[in-house]
Structure 1
Amino acid sequence: MLISPPFLPSGTTTEEDFLNAAMPPPISAASGTGGAPEGSFPVSGGFEWHNGLHLEAPILAHGYGCLPVRAIADGVVVYAKPSPLECTDQGDGRTYDGFSADATSVTWTDIGMLVLAHTTEIGASGDTPTTVTFYSAYMHLSQLAPGIVPGKKVARKEVIGQGGQIYGHRRQIHFEICCDDANLQKLIGRKIVNDYSTPGFPGPWRAVDQVPPEDGRSDSVFGQIHIYLPPETPVRSNPPISHRRSGDGKRLEQELWLSIAYQQGRSILTTRDKYGQVIASREEKEPEQFEYNLYKTASERHASLTDASDSSPSGWYELLRFGRNLGRDPLPADAAHWRKIATADGELWADLNGPGTRKFSDADCLPVMGWNCYDDDPSPDDQRCDSRRMKLLVRDPADPESLLDRVKLAARLGKPEVRAKLRRTICKAPCEWDRATIVKRYGWVREQMDKPNDWARFERHLLATSFDDLPQEYLDAQWHFHPHEFIAHFRQCRWLSEDEVVRITRKSILDKNGQEYEKVSAAEMKNRLRFASDKRPANLHMALQIVMRKYGVTQPHRIAHLFGQLAAETGRLEFMMELGKDSYFDKYEPDTEQGKKLGNTQIGDGKRFKGRGIIQITGRWNYTAYSKFKGISFLDNDTAALLSSIAHLTCDASGFFWVGKQRYLIDKDKKLIPNGKQGINYWADQGVDKTAALQVTKCINTGGIHFEEIRWPCFEHAWYVLNDMEVMPMNFKII
């Protein structure tokens, strides 16, 4: 899934700063909320359900006008309604002033509305992709972009409209993200059992301190890794001697959660209590940069075993990366995952794979990390929020009786600690814009109005700002997410759909004279991802995504560097082996200088160990290293050929090379010597300019062959598609 905010400002640095600048709330606060911005999620005003956020479009850099509204992801327009021109007619329901009790006050509210359906992937179970559909809705647009009509396909970052007015406040939109029951279950990986009479299954809501009975989902895994540590978790004061589990020693004696975050080489471990409160945090410094050295650490733990017949470095690599082995490579059943963690009493070593430990990732939307579902409102057709769980979340713990006082509850909505908790609530409530139900949902307001004419004006406003032709699929999507949090959360996923891979892969290459050649259609690119030929295996798409996830190629700049390289290595996914007649590979034979560098020792090694994979590994030395990593031999003609005929191995062998490769230099004696950090991710993290792309290229092809005409332009293309730039910089040329 690739996803962006609806506004794309420039000039920010960190991810958090960018998202805050891209989705700014209105400056004005809602009355009676203690300072909460107008249009907050999931409740606002008089403690009423509010299914989205009001956002204020950022002003353009030159000070005139504001940023346009853009599609947050690839999708299809399922509803489009333009707004009429602004007027001052008091008889028009759109001139109602929602902020004033003065019946003569006139403001304007735009009612331009768009609903987009987004179908994408967030992972896979076996060969079956985990496909999800969610909706983004944009209300109060002053105008729609030209050509935005139902049925139109739109791309992420495409301009779809312009912010309008809400009760006279300009440059604003109401923005929401929602889905139905089936897709909620797939998005958060939690069973949706709407049967509150079944013990242990109170709907999709889960108690924060509930002991997890099993590991989290394995189809979708992204972001931080979260591990539940039961009281019996083995611990020790000193570094481990053995990496197999033993039955003696000390125990943790308390329930804890440990979160592992990998960030450009860093590994940060955060310890929480059973309620999710942070206790302590530490950054792993041994070895120096833990993520870049995962391959080395995994190999060392495998090598430490006296009997390694049931082990492989690849299995250990996944244990270190995910807290468990998601793949198919050997890992001892009694493997211990020792990591040094911080607790309230100091630092100690804990076995994160001990008995009773449970492993998750951000994809599980854990209650202990603040995520929970709220569908216990006994009167869902009433706009008032009567969810007891929501009230418990918001109320003042020092004033338990405030649970019954809507005024007191609403007054807490502006408190930072409450706003932080509300960001990860997922709430079930009917569509706000359905004309057939809107009067009923606001009927309770009538009882609070002093004059009959007040209700008549308000009812006219409700009907004028709602619609009677909304698509049923959108009306059925009653689970609503905090839009800012949804986007921030799923920007960590980056499991690419087939369509996204096609878009990232550049379709044309230019020759030295700037003339286009080797143009590949989108249909042909999909064919290469799906079907086998005599040069490649079938089902490359799924295997590629699994390998990118395994080896941490999940950040836009890392993905762009990978796609820039594989474009040259595979002819843009056309072939997964080095091409040429048998005689071509004589240059790799043991009696040649090149063959000796590749570690070839037997006649026929040149052809036997030809380049294979999406980043082609070549030579006996590389094939031997990969065999050791997987715990399987690829050292004869038949098994070596598997690296270009089985999609998983085709991609995984290249992933191994990506994280296990140190960049080498040639010294004065013409010998290869290590230079730099372990793994190509380190070099990819150095930047997105031409110098960084060349450094990555030299890790793969020391001569920089095809850099100017293929690797660099294909990197440029992928980087633009993946990032959040609204326009292509001047020095970028996309075909």
Structure 2
Amino acid sequence: MLISPPFLVGTDEASILQAGLKNVPARESTTQAPEGNFPVSQNLMWHTGLHLEAPTKTGGGYAPVRAIADGKVIFVNPSRAKVTDAKDPQAYNPFGSEASWTDNGMIVLEHETEIGADGDTPTKIKFYSSYLHLSKINDAIAKDAQVYRKDTIGETGEIFGHAGEIEMAVACNTEELTKLIGRQPEWQDPKQAPTKDGRTDSIFGNLYIYLPASTPISTTAPTSHLSSANTSSLGTAQWIEINYAKGEGTLTSYATDGSKGNATNEASSEYDLYTEANTRHDSVIAAGATISSPSGWYELLRFGRNLGQSAADKDPLPPNAAHWRKIKTIDGQDVWADLNAPGSFKFSDADFLPVMDWNCYGDDSKPDDQRCDSGKLKDLIADPNDPFTKGDKILAMRIGLPNVLPKLARAICKFPNEWDKNTIVARYQYLKDEAEAAADGALEGWQAFEDHLKIMAFDTLPDAFKQADWHFHPAEFIRTLRKCGWLSRGELVQLLPANSLRKANVWAWEDVSLNSAATLLSKTSTDASLRRIDLNKALRKFNATTPIRLACFFGNATQETQWYQKFHEGSPYWYKPWDGRGFLQLTHAGNYIKYWKFRGLAVSAQVVQTLQQHTTLANNNRPLVNGHKTMYDPTNSLSDASTGISSEIITRRDNVKNSFDAANSAGAYWAWSGASKQADGFFDDPSNNIKVVNTDHGTKHYYENKAFGNVAATVNTGAPSSSFSSIWGVQARFMAFANAQVVLLDTTSFPQSDGSTKEIPEDFIYRRDI
């Protein structure tokens, strides 16, 4: 799934999240919770969403409100025009004495997407995002309208007289929550030791490995990668978090209660996963292991466990494989620990781990009113060392504490929809009851407050939205699900450019047909669905899941497969039948052999020698024309008849065009060629340089980008290069990359021929037929 903040300002991840998910600060005191806090407000009432403050625009005004993900509009309430009558109930401010305006424009979006797959079945989820206190709603936003991530849907309004704010909420029902977090939505003791690994259908973000006290450790780097009894033990159970980002690996220890320990940094370990996997494989083979593969070791290093695509495709790993990594324990010791030790269990951010503060709070003893009566949530807010922090007023004072707010941000809470007009007065009735029991005059203003509630609520909210009574902290939800990287069919469709350039006698400007890409993008074909799943699994395995890496991958894969029409090149050139197959068109016998060895598939020395000899022969037999070799071998020296290779090898080669190998070979090639490092060069130089081309359809444009050019050269020629002319179809690749930037990145910048800069390339057309 693809998801982004409702405000998009900035150029890097940190600045985009900071500007796009900024809480409205507390106005009375710096020790209070942010205004409009989630899941409870300063008076310990349930609060569905989060008040967010929009960034300001250059020249004045506020950034527009955008859809956080692709979805469908299921509810729209236009904002009223402002009135100046101070007696207007809308102006009532229940938290202060001054009358203040609050806009009530509202949009509710229903989102259906994917976060992984269980075998050949996608893990689909449905959730709702709502945007309240809008001052204006875009004309295109109507019930049942389809919207797309980053679409502008409206403008911020006022909340109690403060401009430039919205309240945003994210919710789902029980069935969808179970699929989203991978377990029943019940509170779990965060200190409870796990008894099994986490989910395998969805894996994303950071890895978490539980290490029992008996975990083998060594004070020096072990020389064997197989488990051994001749070691000492960790002594204290703890968790290890593994984060891979921009080439670096970071391993952080946590105590079993979730308190953070110490971090160890591994420079370049992410970029070196392929090399390290081969090193460990070679080591155990030299030690006499008979079951092993570099791919299996790669998965152990990447996920902490050997997943495999399926039972048949699971790449072998020794049953006693040790996953030695250097860590700094919670008590500060630098040791090497076996992260694959017996009793260790592996998870990822997709498991929403209670030990990392993710927990479900569905124990409200009075679920029909707006007051928070969840004992578990109150325990979370209370000071565990002070038994006198149980009173609601004292608890409310603790909400804004730095050690409480992060825990509340990961609380998934069950309570009624806040904006249902049919129930809203009854849900606040307890305030009136309490006031009646208090001193005379305590009920003053109740009628105004009741009128305010009625005006702010809605009587036509969709039932599905009202039944979505599990609520997330929207900012934390977005931050977490951004790590997913799994692409649904609709998102893959958008990654197919609408147009392309092809060099003919003159430059041809061509339409790219969605129908021709049915082998991957068909709505109904089970084969296309399987291809999408296998592709996503391969991208996940080889860590090509960040937006820029995905953009670089698809900028090449769309062109290499001729817009998903061909997973076998079918080339007449000299290197046939070892021509391109798969998403990145694995080409030449040597690369096929390298891929099979990575998978742990046997290739005899005789086959390797024969194919090397015939490759050299075919290349040498290419005729010279005007001093240059042609692309053809008239002797067909590499043909199967000439090489005499076995039918087993022929079948294995031909199968690379099929679903699993087409994706997995592309991922392996991506890894061994170092494409991720080249793609990450975009962070140093993201500039897109406009180029003008005269075509059969008039003047058109494409955009060169240095980082992507290096990736394209790496994929096409085997090494990065600034000589873009040496890359086949480079203009089409650049166009696909520009399209992918628009779809995948949060903010984009493309110079136009008139000197201006826009979010979209010149001549760009959105593909939005899903």
- On whether the aligned pair clears a TM of 0.5, the verdict is yes
Find the counterpart in structure 2 of residue 176 from structure 1.
Answer: 169
| Of 43, 65, 69, the match for 1:69 | 65
Aligned AA (2:275)? K
C-alpha distance in 2 between matches for 1:312 and 1:387: 51
| Of 381, 385, 401, the match for 2:368 | 381
C-alpha distance in 2 between matches for 1:245 and 1:390: 43
- 1:610-662 Cα distance to aligned partner (Å, 9 max, x none): 22111112222111111111112477212110101x2110111111111112x
- 1:209-238 Cα distance to aligned partner (Å, 9 max, x none): 111110000000011110000011111122
1:301 and 2:313 are equivalent in the alignment:
no
Q: Contact 2:519–2:565 at 8 Å: present in 1 too?
A: no
1:709 and 2:706 are equivalent in the alignment:
no
Find the counterpart in structure 1 of residue 714 from structure 2.
Answer: 699
1:415-430 superposed matches below 5 A: 415-430=401-416
Cα gap change, 1:363/1:242 in structure 2, threshold over 3 Å: closer, same or farther? same
1:555-574 superposed matches below 5 A: 555-574=546-565
1:239-638 superposed matches below 5 A: 239-285=221-267, 289-305=268-284, 306-327=287-308, 328-343=314-329, 344-403=331-390, 405-449=391-435, 450=441, 452-511=443-502, 517-530=509-522, 539-580=530-571, 584-585=572-573, 587-588=574-575, 606-607=576-577, 609-633=578-602, 636-638=649-651
Aligned AA (2:469)? Q
CA shift for structure 1 position 85:
0.8
CA shift for structure 1 position 492:
0.5
C-alpha distance in 2 between matches for 1:149 and 1:531: 25
Aligned AA (1:107)? S
Say which SS state the counterpart of residue 714 (structure 2) adopts: helix
C-alpha distance in 1 between matches for 2:587 and 2:514: 30
C-alpha distance in 2 between matches for 1:398 and 1:100: 34
CA shift for structure 1 position 397:
3.4
- 1:497-549 Cα distance to aligned partner (Å, 9 max, x none): 0110110121210346997644234454345335999xx98732111101100
- 1:569-609 Cα distance to aligned partner (Å, 9 max, x none): 110111112223xxx24x23xxxxxxxxxxxxxxxxx41x2
Find the counterpart in structure 2 of residue 725 from structure 1.
Answer: 747
- 1:113-136 Cα distance to aligned partner (Å, 9 max, x none): 110000000000111000000100
CA shift for structure 1 position 145:
0.5
1:656 and 2:625 are equivalent in the alignment:
no
Q: Contact 2:502–2:729 at 8 Å: present in 1 too?
A: no
Q: Contact 1:30–1:44 at 8 Å: present in 2 too?
A: no
1:109 and 2:130 are equivalent in the alignment:
no
C-alpha distance in 2 between matches for 1:176 and 1:492: 20
Find the counterpart in structure 2 of residue 234 from structure 1.
Answer: 216
Q: Contact 2:296–2:316 at 8 Å: present in 1 too?
A: yes
C-alpha distance in 1 between matches for 2:275 and 2:501: 39
C-alpha distance in 2 between matches for 1:231 and 1:565: 47
C-alpha distance in 1 between matches for 2:583 and 2:176: 33
Q: Contact 2:273–2:298 at 8 Å: present in 1 too?
A: yes
Cα gap change, 1:357/1:382 in structure 2, threshold over 3 Å: closer, same or farther? same
Q: Contact 1:88–1:107 at 8 Å: present in 2 too?
A: no
CA shift for structure 1 position 151:
0.2
C-alpha distance in 2 between matches for 1:378 and 1:254: 38
C-alpha distance in 2 between matches for 1:148 and 1:55: 21
Aligned AA (2:650)? N
C-alpha distance in 2 between matches for 1:414 and 1:532: 50
Aligned AA (1:542)? I
Find the counterpart in structure 2 of residue 640 from structure 1.
Answer: 653
- 1:27-65 Cα distance to aligned partner (Å, 9 max, x none): 44368x932221011111311111110112221122x21
C-alpha distance in 1 between matches for 2:163 and 2:233: 60
CA shift for structure 1 position 706:
3.5
Q: Contact 1:221–1:362 at 8 Å: present in 2 too?
A: yes
Cα gap change, 1:223/1:153 in structure 2, threshold over 3 Å: closer, same or farther? same
Q: Which moved more, 1:651-660 or 1:681-690?
A: 681-690
Q: Between the two proteins, what is the percent identity of the paired residues? A: 43
C-alpha distance in 1 between matches for 2:749 and 2:266: 39
Cα gap change, 1:524/1:378 in structure 2, threshold over 3 Å: closer, same or farther? farther
Say which SS state the counterpart of residue 118 (structure 1) adopts: strand
Cα gap change, 1:531/1:159 in structure 2, threshold over 3 Å: closer, same or farther? closer
Aligned AA (1:615)? L
C-alpha distance in 1 between matches for 2:96 and 2:289: 75
C-alpha distance in 1 between matches for 2:521 and 2:457: 44
1:81 and 2:72 are equivalent in the alignment:
no
- 1:256-298 Cα distance to aligned partner (Å, 9 max, x none): 100111111101100111111122111124xxx1111111111
CA shift for structure 1 position 322:
0.1
C-alpha distance in 2 between matches for 1:649 and 1:329: 12
Say which SS state the counterpart of residue 422 (structure 2) adopts: helix
Cα gap change, 1:716/1:169 in structure 2, threshold over 3 Å: closer, same or farther? same
C-alpha distance in 2 between matches for 1:398 and 1:308: 53
Say which SS state the counterpart of residue 88 (structure 1) adopts: coil
C-alpha distance in 2 between matches for 1:393 and 1:648: 46
Q: Contact 2:360–2:413 at 8 Å: present in 1 too?
A: yes
Unpaired runs of 5+ in structure 1? 193-203, 589-605, 662-678
CA shift for structure 1 position 448:
4.6
Cα gap change, 1:28/1:187 in structure 2, threshold over 3 Å: closer, same or farther? same
1:686 and 2:709 are equivalent in the alignment:
no
Unpaired runs of 5+ in structure 2? 309-313, 436-440, 608-648, 688-704, 718-724, 766-770
C-alpha distance in 1 between matches for 2:150 and 2:131: 14
1:40-59 superposed matches below 5 A: 40-59=37-56
C-alpha distance in 1 between matches for 2:518 and 2:446: 57
Count of aligned positions: 671
C-alpha distance in 1 between matches for 2:748 and 2:153: 13
Find the counterpart in structure 1 of residue 129 from structure 2.
Answer: 136
| Of 96, 99, 115, the match for 1:122 | 115
C-alpha distance in 1 between matches for 2:529 and 2:54: 45
Q: Which moved more, 1:248-257 or 1:217-226?
A: 248-257
Cα gap change, 1:145/1:531 in structure 2, threshold over 3 Å: closer, same or farther? closer
Q: Contact 1:502–1:526 at 8 Å: present in 2 too?
A: no
Aligned AA (1:207)? D
Say which SS state the counterpart of residue 134 (structure 2) adopts: strand
C-alpha distance in 1 between matches for 2:528 and 2:21: 43
Q: Contact 1:88–1:95 at 8 Å: present in 2 too?
A: no
Cα gap change, 1:694/1:433 in structure 2, threshold over 3 Å: closer, same or farther? same
Aligned AA (1:712)? F
Find the counterpart in structure 2 of residue 155 from structure 1.
Answer: 148
Cα gap change, 1:156/1:229 in structure 2, threshold over 3 Å: closer, same or farther? same
Say which SS state the counterpart of residue 685 (structure 1) adopts: helix
Q: Contact 2:568–2:581 at 8 Å: present in 1 too?
A: yes
1:173-252 superposed matches below 5 A: 173-192=166-185, 204-252=186-234
Find the counterpart in structure 1 of residue 89 from structure 2.
Answer: 93
Cα gap change, 1:52/1:331 in structure 2, threshold over 3 Å: closer, same or farther? same
Q: RMSD of the alignment, in Å?
A: 2.1
Q: Which moved more, 1:452-461 or 1:122-131?
A: 452-461
Cα gap change, 1:391/1:443 in structure 2, threshold over 3 Å: closer, same or farther? same
C-alpha distance in 1 between matches for 2:292 and 2:244: 24
